[in-house]
Amino acid sequence: MANFILLSTPMLGSSFSAYRVAIIDGAKTPTLTAFYQAIEKGLGFPEDFEHDLESLDDFLNDLEWISASDVAIFVKNSDGFLAQEKPKKLFELLNLLDATAEDWKWVDDDMAPKNVKIVFQTSERIISLLDEEGIAYVVQ
């Protein structure tokens, strides 16, 4: 099952009402630095988050401070999301998010499972990037 969901609207529907959601405004996150700040705030990362890809990977594969079993990262205005970054950086992030969401489906018995979804307000740019990387998605 796809970990990425593309929505035609800039708002999440009622199916996400029980989710802990980090809302990321792509228009305000043209760089990784801005994204790290937005996701740190949106998911309430602990203070030792280091604003880099390795630390993001560590924190997204932990999530122990989030009590909700459903977690979503929602990027609205996705045309501007990481628009100032090189495509390689964006591909690394998209693949990390996909792998993280997939890993949460197969956690050890001593961890509480999480249902992690990556949601984008759809755009031709995002569709093209996901297709180019071979990342599965569903359109809602």
Query: pLDDT tens digits for 112-128?
Result: 789 999 999 999 999 99
Q: What pLDDT is attached to residue 106?
A: 87
pLDDT at 30: 98
Confidence of residue 110 (pLDDT cuts 50, 70, 90): confident
CA–CA separation, 111 and 95 (whole Å): 23
Return the CATH fold of 4-139: Rossmann fold (3.40.50)
Cα separation values, 136 from 5, 55, 91, 98, Å: 9, 25, 14, 9
Q: At what angle do helices 124-133 and 87-103 cross, to 10 degrees?
A: 70
Displacement of CA 84 from its chain's centroid (Å): 18
Q: Give CA–CA dist 14/57, Å, rounded.
A: 28
Q: Which two tokens stand for residue 140?
A: 């809602």
In this prediction, residue 1 carries a pLDDT of 78
Q: pLDDT category, 10, cuts 50, 70, 90?
A: confident
Compute the mean pLDDT over every residue in the chain, rounded to the nearest whole number: 94
pLDDT, average across residues 58-63: 94
CA distances from 23 to 81, 88, 105 (A): 12, 23, 22
pTM of the model: 0.94
What percent of the chain is predicted at pLDDT more than 70?
Answer: 100
